Structure formats: C-alpha cells, structure tokens
Structure 1
Amino acid sequence: MSATVIAVLLAGALAGGFINGLAGFGTALLALGFWLQVLPPTQAVAMVVMLSVVSGLQGVWIVRREIGANRVRLARFVLPALVGVPLGAMVLSIISAPVLKLVIAAMMILYGGFFILRRSLPHFSRPTPVADAAIGFTGGVLGGAAGLSGAIPTMWCAMRPWTKAETRAVLQPYNVIVLAVAVLSMAFYGHYDAQVLLLIVMVLPATLIGAQIGIAAYRRLEDSQFRRLLIGLMFASGLGLMLRELPALL
C-alpha cells in the first residue's frame, strides 16, 4: 500500500470522525468521498458503517444525561426502526437501491435548500409520539434498504424546538443502534475480512481524533446554530449522494 493511499485513508477517517463528532452523523458524507477513490465500494462502505458506530459512541457519551432524561422519546424512534431495518431489505426487491437513493437525495436537497434560504426555522412544539414512531420506522426501512437511516429523522428533529443536546440525544444513539445492526448484518455476509479489519485498525485513531475535534466544535454551537448545521448538512449530503449515484443510472 502506497503512502498516497494511506494518506487518503487517514484523511477520510479524520474528516468522517470530525463531522460525526460535530453533528452526530455524516461519517459517510465525508469519508466516502476519500475512500471510494482508493477502495472498492464494498470495503469502503463496510469501513464507514463500523467507524460510524465507533465514533458515534463518543457522541453518545456527551449527551448521556439527555438520553437518560428522554428515554421514552428515544425509544419511540429506535424500537420502530429495529422493525424497519429488516423490512428495508425487502424493499430492494421492489425498488432498486440507486433509484431509492436518488429519491431521498432529491428530498434532502429540496428540504435543505428551502430552509437554508429561510430566516425562521419551522418547529413543532407539541408532542408527536405517533409521528416520532413513524419517522423512526421510515428511517429504519431506509437504513436497511439503502444505508440512509439518518436522513428522515434528521429532517424531522431539525424542525423540533429541542436544544442541541436533546436533538443529539435522539439522532446519535438512533444512528449508532441502527448502524450497529447493519454491522452485524455485514459481518454475517462476510464483509469484514482480514483486510478490511486491518484497514479499520489503521484508520481508527484518526477517526477518534477527528471525532474529538468535532465534539469540541459542537460544544461551541448555540441551539439555533446547531439546527442550521443539521439543515445545511442535509443539503450537502443530498447533493453529494445525487452526484455519486446519478452517473450510475445515466
């Protein structure tokens, strides 16, 4: 393995860890941009999912009090998601993964672009347990079908008048749990061979350092700034996903 390849892998790990530490999700948004240049897609995705879980655990720790205070709220998202993840695999027999990803990418771009241009952000202040469960389930289905578990929950949480810690106390453990299920599924199908595990060990320190830098930046954000960040990342994630998937269909 050349020094250039190692540098690209470490840069992707650092960038992916940083965005996860900052926003609580988005490792794939930055890491895959680097890793797909030097790795086969299956290896790159397997690494991203594993490192998303590892770096995400650091973010879970910093909002552990908010998680404990809002266990019922978190359960409304997570439990339906666990039902949705295996159903997502069934969706692939009806809709191709690239088409599904492009549909979600378009939603993310429209959502992010619309609210980026608005001065005031939308919010639903009343309790919405049924909607929360439906959003969690939908995220689980999309996670199982296309690896996009965080897209819909992030859009929804950005419209709630929660503090940044309360928002993160839903999104971070939600993504960690759903992606942990994905790791188990990938391990079952043999995606974590000796070479992938070696690469994960190699880039893990950079991921953890990046996450700590991101967490330090997160601590400096105000609640409104954090909501704006989530919306901006939705737009950037959707645009990046569309640019990555669209050429394959043309």
Structure 2
Amino acid sequence: MWAEAALVSAGCLLAALCASVAGFAFVLVGAAVLLPFLSPALVAPILVTGSLIVQGIGSWAVRDAIPWPRLGLYLGAALPGLPLGLAFLALGPARWIVGFVGALLVLYAGYTLARIALGLAPAAFAGGRGADALVGFACGVLGGIGGYVGALLGMWADATAMPPRETRALMQPFIAIMQALTIPGLLLAGLFTREALLLTASAVPALLLGAWLGLRLGRALPAKGFRLLLLGLLLVSGLFLLV
C-alpha cells in the first residue's frame, strides 16, 4: 500500500504540474504513469478526482479571465457528447475513435513543432461558434469514452492562436466541470472503493504542491515557452492515445 501511495503521489505531482501550466493533460499524464502498475478501475477515480481538484484550483487562479459565454457554449455542446461516448465505449468502436484522435494530435503537434523549428509562421485557423460547438461536442464524446476531455480543446486553442492566459481560463473550468459530471457515474459504478479513496487522499499534498508549482511556472513562462509546452503535451498525449 505504501508503494502504491508513493507511486500515485508521484504521478499526481507530475500531472498536476503539467495541467497547471498548460491547462490540461492531468488525466493523460497521470494515466501514463499509473496504468502500467495499477488497474484502470483503480486509476479512474483517482485521476478524475485529482483532475477536479487541480483544475478547480487553476480555475480560481484565472477566475477574472474566464470567458463565460464561450465556456457555456463548449459545455452545452459537450453534454450531449458524453452519453454518445459512453455508448461507443459499450458497443466497441471507442478504441478506433481514440486512436483517430491520437493520430490527429500527433500529426498536428508534430507538424506545428516542425514549422517552428524551421522558422516558418504557423498557420492559424479561424474559429467561430459553430467550430467551437463541434469541438465541444467531440470533447464530450472523448470524455464519455475515457475522460479525455482536454486534449482536443488544447489543440483547438493552439490552432486558433489563443493566448496562454485565455487558454487556461477556458480549459481549466471546462475540464473541472466535466470531471465533476463524471464522478457520479464512477460512484454508481462502484469504483470509489476504500483503496481508491485512501490513495486519492494520500495524493492530496502532491496535488496541491504540483498545482502551486505549475501556477508559478505558468505565470513566469513566456508565450512562446507556453506554446512549446502545450504542443509537447499534445504530442505526448497523442502518442499515449495511440498505444
């Protein structure tokens, strides 16, 4: 139990640090560390709860910059996607959808990083309410499949040249609310076992430390550094989804 607690704390510390700087990737980073050693049924409640705590802290830190109308649009579009994602999970094609998204993230992040390395100006896409709603819906589907609600939104934020603070102010409350909606389903599924609760509680100091370090680093990180970190996390997230 002590070894598992140390592993969970280490994974949550790293995930909290990344999520607090970039605004997303807590579940993906945490899963990459924990799933090789712990069962998915045990990891899921730990990461969803940890993500809610960290993104809630991050949301409070950027509360003055939260774009409420746009956030409401994303949430409204994501909610119908959640049950569809759960249906895909039950019926079988979820693995193909996750693999497609993983490939999309790898291609986008790899292409954009290559353009930056070559000194070429990255192409920016024009956003809009329709495109935002479509991205929000897709995030909801991925949330239903496995709680992967942030990666696609992170890619869209970069593609539309959203500034760092605005990116975090949109992504962190969006992810926090989506994770809060996921927790009742995990409770009904009986995944919040005594072991899961104890491991989650043991990781709270690491979560708080990671969030604190990430927020400090995020404030000091220049826009170019933030973008490189965001793209790096998108690339790693895509590779993880492809495995």
Query: Taking structure 1 as the reference length, what is the TM-score of the superposition?
Result: 0.89
The code of the aligned residue for 2:6 comes to: A
| 1:85–1:178 Cα contact (<8 Å) kept | no
Whether 2:242 is the aligned partner of 1:242: answer yes
> Partners in 2 of 1:38 and 1:227 — Cα distance?
31
The code of the aligned residue for 2:168 comes to: R
**How far is 1:161 from its partner?**
3.0
> 2:6 aligns to what?
7
| 2:127–2:160 Cα contact (<8 Å) kept | no
> 1:115 aligns to what?
112
The code of the aligned residue for 2:75 comes to: V
The code of the aligned residue for 1:28 comes to: V
Whether 2:97 is the aligned partner of 1:96: answer no
> Partners in 2 of 1:186 and 1:91 — Cα distance?
17
**How far is 1:102 from its partner?**
1.7
| 1:100–1:146 Cα contact (<8 Å) kept | no
> Partners in 2 of 1:185 and 1:108 — Cα distance?
27
Whether 2:151 is the aligned partner of 1:151: answer yes
Counting only pairs closer than 5 Å after superposition, residues 9-28 of structure 1 correspond to structure 2 as 9-28=8-27
| 1:74–1:169 Cα contact (<8 Å) kept | no
**How far is 1:91 from its partner?**
2.4
Alignment gaps of 5+ in structure 2: none
> 1:38 aligns to what?
37
**How far is 1:93 from its partner?**
4.5
**How far is 1:95 from its partner?**
3.9
**How far is 1:42 from its partner?**
0.9
What secondary structure, in the 3-state scheme, does the structure 1 residue paired with 2:115 have? coil
| 1:12–1:35 Cα contact (<8 Å) kept | yes
> 2:49 aligns to what?
50
The code of the aligned residue for 1:53 comes to: L
RMSD of aligned residue pairs (Cα, Å): 1.7
- Give CA deviations for 1:150-188 in whole Å, capped at 9, x if unaligned: 222111111223321111111111111112111121112
Whether 2:174 is the aligned partner of 1:174: answer yes
**How far is 1:94 from its partner?**
4.5
**How far is 1:23 from its partner?**
1.1
> Partners in 2 of 1:5 and 1:187 — Cα distance?
22
> 2:141 aligns to what?
141
| 2:27–2:147 Cα contact (<8 Å) kept | no
**How far is 1:219 from its partner?**
0.6
**How far is 1:239 from its partner?**
1.1
Whether 2:200 is the aligned partner of 1:203: answer no
> Partners in 1 of 2:236 and 2:178 — Cα distance?
22
Alignment gaps of 5+ in structure 1: 244-250
The code of the aligned residue for 1:79 comes to: G
1:85 to 78, 82, 87: 82
- Give CA deviations for 1:130-166 in whole Å, capped at 9, x if unaligned: 1111111111112112322222211111122332111
- Give CA deviations for 1:177-214 in whole Å, capped at 9, x if unaligned: 11211112111211112221111111111111111111
| 1:97–1:146 Cα contact (<8 Å) kept | no
> Partners in 1 of 2:150 and 2:196 — Cα distance?
24
> 1:248 aligns to what?
none
> 1:162 aligns to what?
162
| 2:28–2:148 Cα contact (<8 Å) kept | no
> Partners in 1 of 2:152 and 2:12 — Cα distance?
25
> Partners in 2 of 1:178 and 1:72 — Cα distance?
16
> Partners in 1 of 2:7 and 2:130 — Cα distance?
44
> 1:246 aligns to what?
none
| 1:74–1:170 Cα contact (<8 Å) kept | yes
The code of the aligned residue for 2:159 comes to: M
**How far is 1:76 from its partner?**
1.4
Structure 1 window deviating more from structure 2 (14-23 vs 30-39): it is 30-39
